């Protein structure tokens, strides 16, 4: 009797356990629920990509097209040209002498740099320091000029006025090479032009003194004279057609 009761109880318990397993089993979801989950995930991925792209553009900075104000042809050109003309006209009036027949008319003039002297069609400069002939040549070249090349007796006499009364000899652009005297512009020395001849020597350099030409060793120390063309200053306001208020 007792054994039957136990068997029945065990059987009953076994049946209850089987029912519980069936009751708690997994419940199937609708088919559209998974589709919504996938669509939501894809949307989040697209949104993330857009955020990354926009962030990169913000940090790198999008170049903006440069806005340039292009001046239109003719705008302001007349005023600019008139200002330039007035400036040059003032320079001409300041530096140049008026014509004899018209005190108010300025054609133009020739200008030399500071410390240079204008004589005829050339500018002349006397050095303050002493140096050999080569140093004098380089000094003149650095000033866009050359050691003076004399073109005649008048120019020779003018150099004497630059150097003063009873001056020591000064270097000029004359040098002897293999007993041939030539100027620095490679023209030969013409004794007939100056009425004198120079001593024949293999190597030597020419100087000018009050008495005339002298020959010295090229490494001797003397002052030198440079020569170059002047700057031509012309008036741009011909006939006084433009009224200028500019002054210097």
- 230 has pLDDT over 80: yes
- pLDDT-derived band at 54, boundaries 50, 70, 90: low
Q: In angstroms, rounded to a whole number, what is the distance separating the alpha carbons of residues 1 and 3?
A: 5
Q: Which of 3-17, 83-97, 102-116 has the lowest mean pLDDT?
A: 3-17
Per the model's pLDDT, the better-predicted residue between 164 and 137 turns out to be 137
Q: Can you give the length of the chain in residues?
A: 248
pLDDT (average), residues 176-196: 90
- 17 has pLDDT over 50: no
Domain presence at residue 137? yes
* pTM for the structure as a whole: 0.59
Q: Are strands 170-177 and 223-228 parallel, antiparallel or unpaired?
A: parallel
Half-sphere exposure of 49 (CA within 13 A, CB side): 6
Q: How many domains does the chain have?
A: 1
- 71 has pLDDT over 90: no
- Could you tell me where the beta strands, DSSP code E, fall in 33-138? 108-111, 117-119, 122-126
pLDDT at residue 74 in the model:
55
Q: In angstroms, rounded to a whole number, what is the distance separating the alpha carbons of residues 211 and 166?
A: 9
pLDDT (average), residues 228-248: 62
Q: In angstroms, rounded to a whole number, what is the distance separating the alpha carbons of residues 106 and 157?
A: 31
Q: In angstroms, rounded to a whole number, what is the distance separating the alpha carbons of residues 200 and 181?
A: 8
Percent of the chain with pLDDT over 70: 61
Taking 3-state DSSP, the helix, strand and coil percentages for the chain, each rounded to the nearest 5, stand at 40, 20, 40
Q: In angstroms, rounded to a whole number, what is the distance separating the alpha carbons of residues 185 and 145?
A: 11
pLDDT (average), residues 57-67: 46
Domain presence at residue 105? no
Q: In angstroms, rounded to a whole number, what is the distance separating the alpha carbons of residues 92 and 238?
A: 11
Q: Are strands 122-126 and 223-228 parallel, antiparallel or unpaired?
A: antiparallel
Domain presence at residue 48? no
pLDDT at residue 247 in the model:
44
Rg (CA), the chain: 51
Domain presence at residue 190? yes
Coil, strand or helix: which one is 121? coil
- 161 has pLDDT over 70: yes
Q: Write out the residue range of the structural domain in which residue 135 sits.
A: 120-229
Domain presence at residue 197? yes
Domain presence at residue 222? yes
The CATH number of residue 215's host domain is 3.10.100.10
Domain presence at residue 248? no
pLDDT at residue 173 in the model:
96
Q: In angstroms, rounded to a whole number, what is the distance separating the alpha carbons of residues 75 and 170?
A: 57
Percent of the chain with pLDDT over 90: 33
Domain presence at residue 172? yes
Name the DSSP class of 195.
T
Per the model's pLDDT, the better-predicted residue between 116 and 24 turns out to be 116
């Amino acid at each position: 009797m007792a054994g039957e009761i136990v068997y029945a109880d065990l059987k009953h318990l076994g049946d209850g356990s089987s029912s519980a397993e069936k009751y708690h089993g997994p419940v199937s979801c609708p088919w559209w629920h998974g589709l919504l989950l996938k669509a939501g995930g894809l949307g989040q991925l697209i949104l993330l990509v857009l955020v990354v792209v926009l962030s990169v553009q913000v940090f790198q900075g999008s170049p903006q097209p440069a806005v340039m104000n292009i001046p239109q042809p003719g705008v302001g050109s007349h005023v600019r040209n008139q200002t330039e003309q007035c400036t040059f006209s003032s320079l001409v009036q300041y530096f140049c002498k008026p014509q004899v027949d018209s005190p108010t008319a300025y054609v133009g003039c020739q200008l030399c740099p500071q410390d240079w002297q204008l004589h005829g069609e050339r500018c002349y400069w006397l050095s303050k320091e002493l140096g050999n002939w080569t140093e004098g040549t380089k000094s003149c070249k650095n000033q866009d000029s050359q050691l003076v090349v004399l073109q005649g007796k008048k120019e020779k006499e003018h150099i004497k006025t630059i150097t003063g009364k009873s001056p020591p000899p000064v270097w000029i652009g004359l040098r002897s090479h293999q007993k041939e005297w030539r100027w620095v512009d490679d023209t030969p020395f013409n004794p007939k032009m100056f009425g004198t001849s120079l001593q024949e020597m293999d190597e030597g350099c020419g100087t000018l003194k009050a008495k005339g030409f002298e020959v010295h060793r090229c490494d001797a120390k003397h002052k030198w004279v440079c020569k170059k063309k002047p700057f031509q200053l012309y008036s741009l306001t011909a006939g006084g057609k433009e009224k200028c208020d500019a002054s210097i």
